[in-house]
Structure 1
Amino acid sequence: MSGDLLATDIEAYLDAHEQKDLLRFITCGSVDDGKSTLIGRLLYESKLIFDDQLAALEADSKVSGTQGGDLDLALLVDGLAAEREQGITIDVAYRFFTTDRRKFIVADTPGHEQYTRNMVTGASTADVAVILVDARKGLLTQTRRHSYLVSLLGIKTVVLAVNKMDAVGYDQSVAAAIDADYRQFASGIGLDDVTVIPISALRGDNIIETGPNLSWYDGPTLLEYLETVEPVGAATGGPMRMPVQWVTRPDPSFRGFAGQLVAGSVAPGDAVRVLPGGQTSLVERIVTADGDLDVAVAGQSVTLTLADEIDVSRGDVLAAAAEPPAVADQFETSLVWMSDQPMLPGRPYLLKIGTRTVGVSIAQPKYKINVNTMEHTAARTLELNEIGVCNLNLDRAVPFDPYEVNRDMGGFIIIDRLTDVTLAAGMIHFALRRADNVHWQSVEVHKEARAAQAHQKPCVVWFTGLSGSGKSTIANLLEKRLFADGRRTYLLDGDNVRHGLNKDLGFTEADRVENIRRVAEVSKLMVDAGLIVLVSFISPFRAERRMARALLEEGEFVEVYVDTPLEVAESRDPKGLYRKARRGELVNFTGIDSPYEPPEDPEIRVDTTTMTPDEAADRVLRVLRERAILPSAGG
């Protein structure tokens, strides 16, 4: 029908096309289950391949195909050269196609375990998952892995496509056995809306038409199912939610708040609440490029104007005033780690939820999940493609709904502060109530009073450098000078702290991060006590030194880079640690098999190849006086 309309009335065709609803689905499963062939078959049978594409496909099939010169429909999707050479999909390939009844965006996701993060990306916006199983092999590890990820990411509507039925002689008992096995597994992970469809993507059986080979099957073809399915959880009802993407002020008389509704609907006159602030107002207008609307619904991008001049910024959420989302800064979440660098508990990261970006630190995982067995196992960190349950601590409160209620309001990503690389995807379970029970106790003797009594400005002088650089020697000399001058100080030395406060920590990267986090928090308390705190730690990572600086007020953190070349530090080797590391008796030793990241802009740099320890201590003392940390006696 649409083809006839296209030939006779292009405007009517485009209008009809615009009115179709859109279904997003993914294909996933184990390697070589036929995902790309299936999508290629859908495109081919839907007559959505242009003549030049078909000609290119015929040529490519002869060079790179796997069908003996016949059309290899998988090549329509496996666009990367590496995929064609290896015969596997290693990236998420998105394709669009349409039928008379519906528009589709399909994501062909990788099957290999090491590309789990790509599969998560493809699933994050999907409504339906088509999980393929090779009829010859039955359920495999990746079938279970992808099914669990599908459930975790909130996709509740699943098609189990039992592919390659031609390879088992279209045997009904094979499909029935796989059907029974999968339903038993799926019920255990919360997948209850499962439809099993036997197919042959290569031969076209049960894709568009059932065909004679599957006459025993009386259900819908795959395309019929996709055209008619109403996914569980895809409803756009519920209370109104709109994260503010942009505050628009084209002229002094107009102030609007642009964004996409992610739930519910809104109309002029509706009462809305701005979160996290909590102010309320009424919607005055719903503005779009095509004119004002009487109502806007989830999925639409609009600009709202409000009746009152209240403070609304990018990252805020406009919500139904009577049913607002909760606001919190601590959560239990599921995390899918997507970076080659492991997750380090305590390290400061960024979290993006909706249109808001905040600082976050991740606690040690409660457990990680073996997605092959569903077993919960202990973990200190998360590696690439691992999934764990972790508590998060944000640096400010954000509005949210649990992920199972609203994927847009409960889903987030973790970002590296320095590189802006996405490290993880996460789903909020619930807010932690501990914050409701812990309150800041005001005290009358405060930091300023203690500092005035001590006639000094409290601060942290943070010595960093390689083992053997002379940090502790210089810090000790500096403290002696300060003590002789009547200053109130305390020296936190790396080795000494590991005898008590941090005796439970080893020297893995994760433990080193936690080592510095604890020392930074202790340093902050000592600054509040009015002390000048000398910290002497290798502290090899910039991220943790930045975290320690961020805990203090401007001017209270003085970074001293004790700059000593590795060969010089190793030649000193006062504790014999370098010799042990070179013999392989000491692993994760900074400078040998663990990196040291030099400060980029320290307040003080001392070169111990040209300065004596006494000269270095004097230099630091001069800078402290220049910064008025050590006021003169009459000051």
Structure 2
Amino acid sequence: MKQQGQLLRFTTAGSVDDGKSTLIGRLLYDSKSIFEDQLDAVANTSRKKGHDGIDLALFTDGLRDEREQGITIDVAYRYFTTLKRKFIIADTPGHIEYTRNMVTGASTANVAIILVDARHGVIEQTKRHAFIASLLQIPHIIVCVNKMDLVEYKEDAYNRVMYQFEEFSSKLLVRDIRFIPISALKGDNVVNRFENMSWYQGAPLLHTLETLHISSDINKIDARFPVQTVIRPQSESHRDYRGYAGRVASGVFRVGDEVTALPSGFTSTIKSLDTFNGSLEEAYAPMSISMTLTDDIDISRGNMIVRSNNQPQASQDIEAMICWLSRDEAKPRTKYILKHTSNEESAMVKEIIYKIDIETLARKNEDKTLKINDICKIKIRTTKPLMIDSYRENRTTGSFILVDSNTNETVAAGMVVS
């Protein structure tokens, strides 16, 4: 039964000390997903730190610096399974200087769990994380109003946070937002219900995660196949084989389909779809395959094979929403490497169209600087056309990263808007 469960990826976010790591530790501990050696190691560390019981946050704060400082720095990935579903957790940092790590953890998530301290309510970092979740088109947000034990489990405290978040989130493009009052430290409404909050009639967090309907975010209509490498075997029996290997980004390809190679524009027909286990009649995302064509076309890494009647936009001028990840401010006319699917091209930021004020979600048109954690709409120009779709239509062909060509640092994550 465990092996048959659907996989759900979720990320945790929130401000500093809102209890993200403690919440995940409570999920793992109460769902009995901790190995005995892990439990013993954390128990020993907790005793050394002078805690009376087990410090649940230590189950995720695995780095030495995190354990010493008592904070989460890097994105910590954890895996656990229940009878109903398999889970991958991305525990992201709460400090504002690590907001870029939240982008990393949330980029593949189905659900974003945003923790809010019941004492402090919705603050700027809460809004920042909610906006990033909306920007990345995470379809479900679960707002966990944590530390209810510190406000005497009062319903008024929970309602105040819920009202604050609803007022802000009305401006976001999120289909489903749910609220759960919890105490990660005590365990209320995490895995089990307790009588401390009998006024709450909803399900605990784990039950919500187990029963939440998750639809695939893979575009099944637009067939896109970025080529990673060309396979030319040297063996005598396969000397005439020329296969284009890669991972199907979206859509479905079938033997006999007419396809177009971009950016050249040459057309051909699919001859075979090959895998390690043999040939297929059709291939779909996210399968890794080798595609052969009936015609000998010059195709190399970074090119894209698409169906002839459904092609992406080819453009050198790209408008995108980005999150600036680098500690160094962006410099005008600086050359970057733009990595998009299997393609890499030189690029520069032509224009900062506007920045987002996280507090109000207003557009700031006068500010033309790019600093760490800034979220803004920009215009980029590349040396050669890229085959792109909007991020809203296709998360794979609509996303990219910018890399500093001198330091090899990833400076921005972007989502194509047109």
TM-score by shorter chain over 0.5:
yes
Q: CA deviation at 1:155?
A: 1.6
Which residue of structure 2 lines up, in the alignment, with residue 405 of structure 1? 393
Matching residue within 46, 54, 57 for 2:31: 46
Instruction: Determine if contact 2:230/2:301 at 8 Å carries over to the other structure.
Output: yes
The reply to whether residue 113 of structure 1 matches residue 101 of structure 2 is no
Task: Tell me which amino acid in the other structure corresponds to 2:283.
Answer: A
Aligned residue for 1:342? Answer: 329
Equivalent residue for 2:8? 23
Amino acid at match of 1:161: C
User: What residue in structure 1 maps to residue 362 of structure 2?
Assistant: 375
Structure 2 counterpart of 1:353, from 321, 340, 348: 340
**Equivalence for 1:197:** 180
Letter in 1 for 2:289: V
Aligned to 2:300: 313
Kindly indicate which of the two structures has a greater share of residues assigned to helix. Answer: 1
CA distance in 1, matches of 2:84, 2:281: 27
By how many angstroms is 1:235 displaced? 4.6
**CA drift at 1:222:** 1.5
2:377 is the alignment partner of 1:389: yes
- State the Cα distance separating 1:106 from its structure 2 match: 1.1
Give the structure with higher Rg (CA): 1
Structure 1 contact 364–381 (Cα < 8 Å) conserved: no
The structure-2 alpha-carbon separation of the partners of 1:295 and 1:209, relative to structure 1 and needing over 3 Å to count, comes to: farther
Aligned position for 1:125: 108
Shift of 1:34: 0.8
Give me the whole-angstrom Cα distance separating, in 1, the residues matched to 2:230 and 2:7. Answer: 29
In structure 2, the partner of 1:250 is 233
More strand by share: 2
Go from structure 1 to structure 2 and tell me whether the alpha carbon gap of 1:99 and 1:246 turns closer, same or farther (over 3 Å shift).
farther
* CA distance in structure 1 between the partners assigned to 2:253 and 2:331 by the alignment: 42
Matches within 5 A, 1:7-406: 17=3, 19-64=4-49, 68-231=51-214, 234-251=217-234, 252-377=239-364, 378-406=366-394
Q: Does 1:416 align with 2:404?
A: yes
Deviation for aligned residue 1:354: 0.8
Q: Is the 8 A contact 1:350 1:415 kept in 2?
A: yes
C-alpha distance in structure 1 between counterparts of 2:139 and 2:332, whole Å: 31
Q: Distance in 1 between matches of 2:209 and 2:269?
A: 40
The SS at the match of 1:178 is helix
Instruction: Map 1:485-524 to 2 at 5 A.
Output: none
Are the equivalent residues in 2 in contact too, given 1:89–1:109 (CA < 8 A)? Answer: yes
Q: CA deviation at 1:123?
A: 1.4
Given that 1:186 and 1:192 are in contact with CA atoms closer than 8 Å, whether structure 2 keeps it comes out as: no
- Residue type of the alignment partner of 2:196: N
Deviations 1:228-263 (A, max 9, x none): 323467254222222112222224232222222222
Deviation at 1:202, TM superposition (A): 1.5
Q: Which runs of 5+ in 2 are unaligned?
A: none
Distance in 2 (CA, whole Å) between partners of 1:63 and 1:296 is 54
Kindly tell me: are residues 429 and 267 of structure 1, through their superposed partners in 2, closer, same or farther at Cα, counting changes over 3 Å?
Answer: same
> Is residue 14–residue 114 contact of structure 2 (8 Å, CA) maintained in 1?
yes
1:223 partner SS: helix
CA distance in 1, matches of 2:81, 2:254: 32
Q: 1:278 to 1:134 in 2, by over 3 A?
A: same
CA distance in 2 between counterparts of 1:388 and 1:299 reads 30
Pick closer, same or farther for the CA change 1:340–1:213 going to 2, 3 Å: same
Is this contact kept in 2: 1:157–1:232, CA < 8 A? no
Q: Which runs of 5+ in 1 are unaligned?
A: 3-16, 431-635
Equivalent position amino acid for 1:384 in 2: I
Per-residue CA deviation, residues 445-466 of structure 1 (Å, 9 max, x unaligned), is xxxxxxxxxxxxxxxxxxxxxx
8 Å Cα contact 2:137/2:174 also seen in 1: no
Partner amino acid for 1:422? T
User: Measured at CA, do residues 281 and 101 of structure 1 come closer, stay the same or move farther in structure 2, by a change above 3 Å?
Assistant: farther
Q: Structure 1 residues 373 and 315 mapped into 2: Cα distance closer, same or farther (>3 Å)?
A: same
Say if 1:318 and 1:178 are closer, same or farther in 2 by CA, change over 3 A: same
For residues 45 and 308 of structure 1, the distance between their equivalents in structure 2, rounded to whole angstroms, comes to 59
**Aligned residue runs from structure 1 range 578-589, under 5 A:** none
Alpha-carbon distance in structure 2 between the residues aligned to 1:152 and 1:402: 12
Aligned-partner Cα distance in 2 for 1:318–1:395 = 20
Retained in 1: the 8 A contact 2:23–2:185?
A: yes
Q: 1:224 to 1:254 in 2, by over 3 A?
A: farther
The answer to whether the 8 A contact 2:272-2:292 is kept is yes
CA–CA separation in structure 2 for the residues paired with 1:283 and 1:105? 36
The 3 A distance-change label for structure 1 pair 402 and 209 is same
Q: Distance in 2 between matches of 1:277 and 1:21?
A: 40
Partners of 1:363 and 1:152 in 2: how far apart? Answer: 22
Partner Cα distance (1:85, 1:402) in 2: 43
SS at match of 2:278: coil
The alignment's C-alpha RMSD in Å is 1.9
C-alpha distance in 1 between matches for 2:248 and 2:204:
34
Q: Is the 8 A contact 2:155 2:199 kept in 1?
A: yes
1:578-610 deviation line (CA, Å, top 9, x unaligned) = xxxxxxxxxxxxxxxxxxxxxxxxxxxxxxxxx
Cα deviation, residue 144, structure 1: 0.5
Supply the distance in 2 between the matched residues of 1:232 and 1:381 (Cα, whole angstroms). 38
Deviations 1:354-386 (A, max 9, x none): 110001111241222221232322223211221
Q: Show CA shifts across 1:460-496 (max 9, x none).
A: xxxxxxxxxxxxxxxxxxxxxxxxxxxxxxxxxxxxx
1:449-468 equivalent positions in 2, closer than 5 A: none
Distance 2:402 2:101 in 1: 15
Read off the aligned partner of 1:192 and give its amino acid letter. R
The amino acid that maps onto 2:381 is N
- Deviant stretches of 4+, over 4 Å: none
Task: Tell me how far 1:413 sits from its aligned partner.
Answer: 0.8
- After TM superposition, give the deviation of residue 148 of structure 1 in Å: 0.9
Q: Is the 1:241–1:262 contact (alpha carbons within 8 Å) kept by the matching residues of 2?
A: yes
Deviation per CA, 1:416-438: give whole Å up to 9, x if none.
112222111111111xxxxxxxx
**Which digits, 9 at most, give the CA deviation of each residue in 1:184-211, with x for residues without a partner?**
2112122231111222222222222223
